[in-house]
Structure 1
Amino acid sequence: MRAVGVIVEYNPFHNGHAYHLQVAKGTAEADLVVAVMSGNFLQRGEPALVSKWYRTKMALLNGVDIVLELPYQFATQKAETFANGAVSILDAIGCHSLCFGSESGDISSFSQTVDYLDKHKDQFDENIKMNIKTGVSFPKALSLSFQSLSSPENLVSLDKPNNILGFHYVKAIKHQKSTMIPLTVKRKNADYHDEHFATETIASATSIRKALFASKENNSSIKQYVPDATDRLLREYLDDYGNFHEWENYWSYLRFRLLHCSVEELREIYEVEEGIEHRLIAAALDAANFNEFMQKIKTKRYTWTRLQRICLHILTNTKKAEMKSTIERASYLRLLGMTGNGKEYLNKYKSQFTLPLISKLSAYKENGIYLDIKASRIYSFGLRNQARDRLLNQEFKQPPIFIK
């Protein structure tokens, strides 16, 4: 059985994702799709709209055969670390290929860009350091450094979010000496950060979330942009748990953490650097809500995404020491769900996997997985009362979801 891998967040699963799966499976001539999916907190440092279990159901009902969790120590990181973790998981489970969406759509340009920057690594790294010293953010420094090199024509543009991720996927495949074949699908119609609906059927996850929060309990505004299963599961989540998750739900907990911790304690938190702890505490004293807090701490150097990740690590009390010891490559395969086709693949090939496959947390004692457990516990506090308790206990009680 030939498996094609995808790296996803599905926040939530929409028609563009369905298109990606269809093209990925056809292009790779694959028998099934394996998705590495971020858990309850995402790469931009924000809580997922609905839990990883509901997003797993969305994936399995819309064409994915196996869903594996991307651990917290990779899922909440910059593109390079995010890619390293995800690629190591897909390689360990035996995927023949990896297919990702990009603004470029030309896989040869990604491979040539990786080779070119490997050849000019010293100069590229030095340019990044010089640009950061001017006060720009890391993504901006990366883009400027790339532009400053005298480059051949067929290189991918590194100023687009999906191109950047794709570059790091291809780079990870090469540097990890994986046999996976990289493939790419050109993004259709909607840009990654679009906040408005671009066409009649395709919209970004950002615009879908914006519409959901604007309409609260009415999903009708997004119905044409998501498969029926997604629409149904979003409604079901509201009925079961009372609300979707967003940063404002966690503001009181974050504020408590900031005002309770000493400056010295904050310095131990992952990504808290350069004295920003003083700025965070000062803003927490005055801000009435999370958005106001973010506006107060935003600077030219610190992107909104990086600041959200810092806030997330403060919220989850994630220390530098525990993150830096676990971010080279994944050390386990956490199974969230499978179809009948996926179960057949697992039964047939699991003896060949190069990492342990975990379906029950109680059977695995590795230190790194504690970050996932802790993150899921904190995530549950975005809900109220009994709904919170149900989600709080789900991390240990929920078996992998099976859809025939």
Structure 2
Amino acid sequence: MKAVGLIVEYNPFHNGHAFHLQASKEAAGADVVIAVMSGNFLQRGEPALVSKWYRTQMALLNGVDLVFELPYRFAVQKAETFASGAVSILDAAGCEALCFGSESGDLTSFLQTISFLKENQQLFDASIKQHMENGVSYPKAIALSYQGLSGSDQFLNLAKPNNILGFQYMKAILEQNSQLKPLTVARKNADYHDEHFASETIASATSIRKAIFAEEEMHSPNIEQYVPEPTNRLLQEYKQRFGSYHHWENYWDLLQYKLITSSADELKNIYEMEEGLENRLVDAALTSADFKEYMDNIKTKRYTWTRLQRLSVHVLTNAKKTDMKNSIQAEYIRLLGMTQTGKDYLNKMKKHFSLPIISKLSAYKEKEILLDIKAARIYAMAFPKHIRKQMIRQEFNQPPIFIQK
């Protein structure tokens, strides 16, 4: 059975994801689709709209055969680390190909860019450092350094978010000497950060979430035309079952409490805390009424909104520098869900996997998974006590979701 791997968040699963999934399967000639999916907190430093269990159901009902969780220490990270952890899981699970969406849609441009930067690595690194010393954010410094060295965007536009991720996927494949064959599919119609609907059927996850949150205030357009039926149904079920979706304001009181009751030394030990940022965060926590105001108060030219949101997640989960290992590869594969096709693949291939498979937390005792457990507990804190208790218990007792199609 030939498997193609996808690296996803599905926040939520929409029509653009469905297009990418089908195009990936066709491009790879695959029988099985394996998704490595971020857990309850995401790469841009946000809580997922709905839990990883509901997003797993969305994935399985829309064509994915196996869903593995990307551990917290890779999921809430810069693109390079995010890509490295996800690639290591797909490789360990026996995938033959990785297919990613990109603004480029042209694999040659990725290969040319990687080759060019490898030949000019010292100049590239020096240029990035210089731009950052001048107060430029890391992503912007990469784009400016690359454009300055190449003289144009003839290879790849590294200012585009999916191109950046794709570039890091390709690098991770090469650095890990992975068996994965890279493939790319051009993003369709909507840009990653679009906040408004750009076509009649395709919209970014950002614009869909914006509409969903607006709908809670009773003045939003319907999203049915932008998401498959299972997604729409599960979103409605989640709202009815839990009362609301997840967003940062649900966690503001917890974050504020953590910041104003922690010592400077405690905050300095939080992952990604540097150069006196702890003082800036505490000052903002003391004067801000909500998370949006807090973010407006701490954002600078050098530190992007995304970087500061990720740091805030690490404060919220008390993720210390010593917790977030420097390893580029995962230590385990956590199975969140499968279809019958996925189950057949596991039965045939799991003995060849190079990492242990976890299907139930209560059966796994190693300390590497403690961050995931902590993140799940914090994620549940958005809800009243009776729901919170249920969600925390689910993290330990939930077997992999099985969808018979």
TM-score, L = length of structure 2: 0.98
Is the contact made by 1:37 and 1:68 (CA closer than 8 Å) also made in structure 2?
yes
Amino acid at match of 2:278: E
Aligned length: 403
- Note closer, same or farther for the CA distance 1:261–1:341 as it changes in structure 2 (3 Å cut): same
Name the counterpart of 1:312: 313
For 1:237 and 1:30, the matched residues in 2 are separated by 32
The unaligned stretches of length 5 or more in structure 2 are: none
Question: What are the superposed Cα offsets for residues 176-226 of structure 1, whole Å, 9 maximum, x if unpaired?
Answer: 101111000000000000000000100000000000000118786111100
SS of the residue corresponding to residue 101 of structure 1 reads strand
Name the counterpart of 1:361: 361
Range with greater deviation from structure 2 (365-374 or 93-102): 365-374
TM-score, L = length of structure 1: 0.98
Percent same amino acid at aligned positions?
64
Amino acid at match of 1:158: L
Name the counterpart of 1:31: 31
Question: What are the superposed Cα offsets for residues 290-341 of structure 1, whole Å, 9 maximum, x if unpaired?
Answer: 000111111101100000011100000000011035x421110000000000
Name the counterpart of 2:196: 196
Is the contact made by 1:217 and 1:238 (CA closer than 8 Å) also made in structure 2?
no
SS of the residue corresponding to residue 323 of structure 2 reads helix
- Note closer, same or farther for the CA distance 1:274–1:347 as it changes in structure 2 (3 Å cut): same
The yes-or-no answer on 1:149 pairing with 2:152 is: no
Deviation at 1:151, TM superposition (A): 5.8
Amino acid at match of 2:85: G
For 1:220 and 1:349, the matched residues in 2 are separated by 45
For 1:119 and 1:23, the matched residues in 2 are separated by 33
Name the counterpart of 1:234: 235
Amino acid at match of 1:240: R
Deviation at 1:365, TM superposition (A): 2.0
Deviation at 1:153, TM superposition (A): 7.2
For 2:111 and 2:154, the matched residues in 1 are separated by 10
Name the counterpart of 2:85: 85
| Equivalent residues in 2 for 1:268-283, closer than 5 Å | 268-283=269-284
For 1:251 and 1:2, the matched residues in 2 are separated by 45
Name the counterpart of 1:187: 187
Deviation at 1:166, TM superposition (A): 0.2
Is the contact made by 2:83 and 2:165 (CA closer than 8 Å) also made in structure 1?
yes
The yes-or-no answer on 1:170 pairing with 2:170 is: yes
Question: What are the superposed Cα offsets for residues 243-290 of structure 1, whole Å, 9 maximum, x if unpaired?
Answer: 100000000000000000011110000011010111111111110000
The unaligned stretches of length 5 or more in structure 1 are: none
Q: CA RMSD in A?
A: 1.2
Is the contact made by 1:8 and 1:35 (CA closer than 8 Å) also made in structure 2?
yes
The yes-or-no answer on 1:255 pairing with 2:278 is: no
For 2:349 and 2:150, the matched residues in 1 are separated by 46
- Note closer, same or farther for the CA distance 1:123–1:395 as it changes in structure 2 (3 Å cut): same
Deviation above 2 Å: which 4+ runs of structure 1? 150-154, 217-220
Is the contact made by 1:298 and 1:304 (CA closer than 8 Å) also made in structure 2?
yes
For 1:220 and 1:361, the matched residues in 2 are separated by 40
Deviation at 1:366, TM superposition (A): 2.1
For 1:388 and 1:324, the matched residues in 2 are separated by 29
SS of the residue corresponding to residue 354 of structure 2 reads coil
Amino acid at match of 2:319: T
- Note closer, same or farther for the CA distance 1:252–1:152 as it changes in structure 2 (3 Å cut): closer
